A and B are shown apart, each in its own frame.
Chain A
Amino acid sequence: MNYRIVHRTDYHYAEPVDSGYNEARLLPRAVPRQLALSSSLSIDPPPSDYRERLDYFGNRVAGFSIDQPHHALSVTATSEVSIEPRSGRLDLFEGESWDASRERLMQSNDPESLLARDFALDSPLVAVQPGLASYAAGSFARGRSLLQSVHDLMERIHRDFRYDPEFTTLSTPLAQVLEHRRGVCQDFAHLAIGCIRSHGLAARYVSGYIETLPPPGKPRLVGADASHAWFSVFVPGSGWVDFDPTNNQVPETQHITVAWGRDYADVTPLKGIIFGGGMMTLKVSVDVLNLDTAVVAAPSDSAGAAAQP
């Protein structure tokens, strides 16, 4: 599958900003089945300083600063990526039990496993707490395969939690999400990560986009899509496997990965420090265009529920 993604962020300030310093994690990183064909960042006002690098997790970071007074900041990332289907079927029932995997993770000293152990520890937004362990216990029966356990966890989160953009804010603690059983993709990803870590396993946060299909009979709307987030679990010996608890799916070719880290704090799409500015308003729009189907002017009314970001 080939996609073009346009992700635009606009800040408007009530008072002039004298100078601003920013970091954007908006350019898709290298991922095994995903090839970034092109990607670029357009910034207005033009930055006085701009530099790209890779961060600790291998994500692409663009650091830039603006040192002239401005009232608005607009950052648009445009990327084209190509995603290959998985070469084989993912067999959930095969593979080691989760408890054996945990032992293997702690014993192994290959570089990938050693670094993965970072993702089994608490992180800024995800701290292990008793509630998480007991919720997760229902999925992690002794001897059950790791992937089957995680798949079950994903299904339960999808079933037990309501998608509710009104409920949570960025600072809503995980305990509240757990208590009220509501949240958005970011909360569900954090929740799953916490559950998995509470069992001594490694899980990471993935930020990116999902191709959302329009409801039957409705045209596809530009900007209707949004940033998305899901999680990935480490299977010692074979690597990372993604799960999307918001849509109850194992990502195949509709998920476009931008960055990953221990949690949202490691991969914030755009962050910064500004001097001045006063009150500000923010507007974000994301447009995911499937280049393979885009030639069809009329929206297909093919089946398939609209995915939730």
Chain B
Amino acid sequence: MSKDAHAEQAASPRPRPDPAGSRWYEPAAGLFDETRSDDGTVRPHWEYLARALQGLGTEELRRRRDEASRLLRENGVSYNVYDDPDGYNRVWDLDPIPLVIGSNEWAGIESGLIQRAELMDLILRDLYGPRELLRKGLLPPEMVFGHAGFLRPCDGVKLAGERQLILYSANLARGPDGNMWVLGDRTQAPSGAGYALENRMVITRILPSLFRDSRVHRVAVFFRALRQTLVSIAPRASREPRIVILTPGPRNETYFEHAYLASYLGYPLVQGDDLVVRNGRVWQRTLSDLQPVDVIIRRVDDDWCDPLELRAESRLGVTGLLECARRGTVSIANPLGSGLLENPALLAFLPAIARHFLGQPLRLSSVRTWWCGNPGDLQHVLANLEHLVIKPLSRAAGERSLPGPTLSRDELDRLRAQISASPRNWVGQEFAQFSATPTLSDDGGVEPRAAVLRTFLVARDADYAVMPGGLTRVAPSRGSPLVSNQYGGSSKDTWVLASEPEQQVTLWLQPAREQMTSGNRAPLSSRAADNLFWLGRYSERAEGTARLLRTILAKYDESLQYDDPEHAQCLHALLRSLTHFTATYPGFMAEDARLHQPDDELLAVACDAGRSGSLAQSLQALVHSAHAIRDFWSSDSWRVLDSIDTQLAALRTRGSVTIENLSEHLNQVVVALAAFNELTSERLMRDQAWRFLDMGRRIERSLLLASLTRSTVAVHTEPAVEALLLDAILSTGESILTYRQRYRSYLEVRTVLELMLLDSNNPRGMIHQLLRLQETLAGLPTDPGAAGGAELCERDRLALEAVTQLRLVSLDRLVQSGRGSVLREDLDQTMARITHLLTRMSEVITGQYFGHLRESQQLVQARIEVERGPR
């Protein structure tokens, strides 16, 4: 039989033994395998993919996986892992082999999920309403009242309309019996839909023809339903309700997804302090005014959403938000308090509740669950601890489920004692071996790994829309039962096969584009403006520092070569100016010994991110600011930002940077920063966002130039030394070529100062920065509180004075030193004055546009006996 004929045979609809396939992938013995039945035949819905992947070969599959990693990295798809220094922005891990689900089975799963979502909705409405479930004995009060997710302030707060649970997620896994089980429910702010979407985008790029020929259901329908539903729950009858996504911020584990969904759906991404409550309504702060907010998709947990009524120490929420929901002036999806449904003990009671509310049995069964608040269940759990997964009733931060089989005898004893002390707070669940699915391992083979599927539902008119497929996550290694991103597993695309060819519903691409532009037209939030401003400042500071360091390294080389007092003197002057320029005091000002052995200090100023003023610290601050406005960046800008991040990581790698190779590192940093500057100044629209970035740049560039000038030529030195210092000014200020073209002469203080300070044709010169700054300031929204009229506002006055100061200087006086002194007083004072004016301007801008981002505090009621009168 020829090879081709064999392949044909495997593709025939009748399942047959597949010896070729076994070379490609060997299922684990004793586990349910997604691709093959016990007798070794390939399951029909896997046939096409299995044959195709086998045809590709693992070598090619590895290549495709690398391609996927590259795409994910370039798109900045990340997942933050807590308590891990390198976990911030860990790149999302995607396995190239999808999980396939046949159309018949999916139909059953889908109807089971819809039933479960409806049931969850009914429970939510009941527990914050009539609490019939308690009265009828269907739920023990202790299980409800004792769960941290039951938020008493949320009692009776309802969205308009019947439906309360808008978003719903369930984790599914296939048990040993071959059926899909529900492992748990996510009802507060389910995450993962954005990752599922990104996974799909990447897979369609790395396996285009396979995807096309497999007739896979599109996931976009889910997002279309989501958009429609969010509009429909808006409190005001409005054709264009303002919908925002509330994120806890860049430190959150799924921050990437928040930003990604914000740009995909076209909604502003906001943090708590971007919103404010006034007169019983929620408003978004923008640079010029407050915009009413109608709908909030929140990714902040329930009890962190409102410090007034919920967790008082929260800085992630919006003070007064719950009262707005109570009055019905804002709709929150999901409503506050819905975390109550994440109670794992609920699983034990669901079948009876389904019969009560729906008159039906559950279509999808849950993993077997025991609530230790029931004496019988407690006994069972204590007796079988090592065979169960133990979960706390309320999921506190950092608490994870404990799989009994992985615990030591001591750990089991401790757990037993904990459970016996407060049985009500514990739940036991069956520890099952879930089905395995082929996954590409790190060493290049394909191996079976346990998989869990997170599904996504959104309410629509009469029922729920289900995303076909979802986010599949697989265990970090063969044989590991743990599936969680926090443990470091991988993810997969999920293919639900259509029974008939599906129409190409690419509509999501079109509306998304429209939405994105309308998102950009939306007024700029103060927080975004703040980050853009500092992004501008840090990118300049980093570039200036890198250039100066590079110049110094060159001089350092020369001084070693020539080994004469002049070169040494020049190097020392430059080293001191580096300390001034970066404000890394005491640095080279401290002792002369360091001037003669500058290696360590130079490396520290370049690489030590913990040192304020260092290059690494500026780069880090730059990257942080850029992350905080993740939704602003196109994939091109993101790629450039990523390269900056890579350079930073290289600088920070202990032991890899030496004084010999530092120059090379600096070159790369300068190139990456130049690309970023280029991209942002060319591509960003000349709107408010650009203005803040540009102002940050201009202010910082002028400040750096002033500092550099003062620390090099404000004091007379010998002509030979002075020439070298001037050379450093020009190369740090990127103006050497311009100077040569213009003056074709040796370096002189007078001409260098003319070019760097006064010549408005030099785009790197100071007067150019100040004039552009003036222009940019004129385009800013005016301060709503400022009195109109002819008077200049403070920032304009500062800019005018800085420009005038510089315009009025005479070059003759600038280069002159005072009688009997080596100090060029005019130069020094002019630079000092301009520094003061620009520093003040930065403060004024901060106060005016970002100033409201101030700390809140609790009104403390120290105790109730305060200030007692005489007794």
Which residues of A are interface residues toward B (Cβ below 8 A)? 11, 18-23, 48-49, 51, 53, 55-57, 63, 65, 67, 73, 109, 111, 114-115, 117-118, 120-122, 128, 165, 168-170, 184-186, 207, 212, 221, 223-227, 229, 264, 266, 268-277, 280, 282-285, 306, 308-309
Contacts and interface: CB of A to CB of B under 8 A. Distances in A.
Given A21-B277, A111-B135, A271 B861 contact: yes
A87 B327 CA distance: 41
Interface of B: 131, 134-135, 137, 141-142, 145-146, 152-153, 155, 276-280, 307-309, 312, 319-320, 323, 326-327, 422, 424, 852, 854-871
A169 B868 CA distance: 14
Contacts of A227: 864-865
Contacts, number: 137
Contact of B859 (A118, A121, A272): A272
Closest 3 CB pairs of A and B: A272-B859, A224-B869, A56-B152
Contacts of A23: 308-309
Contacts of A56: 152-153, 155
30 contacts: A11-B859, A18-B852, A18-B854, A22-B859, A23-B308, A49-B279, A51-B323, A55-B152, A56-B155, A73-B859, A109-B134, A114-B141, A117-B141, A121-B146, A169-B862, A169-B863, A170-B860, A184-B865, A185-B865, A227-B865, A229-B864, A266-B152, A268-B861, A271-B312, A273-B319, A273-B858, A274-B856, A274-B859, A282-B862, A306-B871
A269 B861 contact: yes
A76 to B, nearest CB: 15
A269 B858 CA distance: 14
Contacts of B856: 273-275
B854 A276 contact: yes
Contact of A285 (B134, B153, B869): B869
A115 B141 CA distance: 8
A118 B141 contact: yes
Contacts of B861: 170, 268-271, 282
A271 B858 contact: yes
A63 B323 contact: yes
A274 B862 CA distance: 15
Nearest to B131: A114
A100 B490 CA distance: 55
Contacts of A170: 860-863
Residue among B131, B146, B309, B864 with the most chain A CB within 10 A?
B864
B869 A284 contact: no
A267 to B, nearest CB: 10
A138 B89 CA distance: 57
A73 B852 CA distance: 21
B867 A21 contact: no
Nearest to A228: B864
Nearest to A116: B141
Contact of A117 (B145, B152, B276, B869): B145
B277 A273 contact: no
Nearest to B128: A56
Contacts of A18: 852, 854
Contact of A270 (B855, B859, B865): B859
Given A18-B852, A51-B280, A114-B134, A269 B864 contact: yes
Residue among B153, B279, B320 with the most chain A CB within 10 A?
B320
Nearest to B859: A272
Given A21-B277, A21-B319, A48-B279, A271 B859 contact: yes
Contacts of A283: 866-867
Contacts of A273: 307-308, 312, 319, 856-859
Contacts of B146: 121-122
Given A18-B852, A185-B864, A225-B869, 13 more contacts: A57-B152, A115-B141, A120-B142, A122-B146, A184-B863, A186-B865, A264-B864, A273-B319, A274-B856, A275-B854, A282-B866, A285-B867, A309-B865
A55 to B, nearest CB: 7
A306 B135 CA distance: 45
Nearest to A215: B871
A19 B278 CA distance: 10
B522 to A, nearest CB: 24
Nearest to B869: A224
B280 A49 contact: yes
B859 A20 contact: yes
Contact of B145 (A121, A221, A266, A275): A121
B870 to A, nearest CB: 7
Contacts of A224: 869-871
Contacts of B152: 55-57, 266
Contacts of B865: 165, 184-186, 226-227, 309
B314 to A, nearest CB: 10
Contacts of A165: 865, 868
Nearest to A128: B422
Contacts of B145: 117-118, 121
Contacts of A120: 142
A186 B422 CA distance: 26
A114 B142 CA distance: 9
Contacts of B855: 275
B277 A55 contact: no
Contacts of A274: 856-857, 859
Contacts of B153: 55-56
Nearest to A229: B864
A262 to B, nearest CB: 9
A223 B862 CA distance: 18
Contact of B858 (A55, A184, A225, A272): A272
A29 B800 CA distance: 63
A37 to B, nearest CB: 24
Contacts of A277: 857
A230 to B, nearest CB: 12
B320 A21 contact: yes
Contacts of B134: 109, 114
Given A56-B152, A274-B856, A276-B854, A65 B864 contact: no
A121 B142 contact: yes
Contacts of A270: 859, 861
A270 B860 CA distance: 9
B869 A223 contact: yes
A308 B858 CA distance: 29
Contacts of A275: 852, 854-856
A224 B145 CA distance: 39
Nearest to A207: B864
Nearest to B327: A51
Contacts of B859: 11, 20, 22, 73, 270-274, 280
A157 B155 CA distance: 35
Nearest to B866: A284
Nearest to B853: A275
Nearest to B144: A118
Residue among A56, A168, A270, A276 with the most chain B CB within 10 A?
A56
B308 A109 contact: no
A173 B869 CA distance: 26
Contacts of B137: 109
A282 B280 contact: no
Nearest to A22: B859
A207 B858 CA distance: 21
A53 B157 CA distance: 12
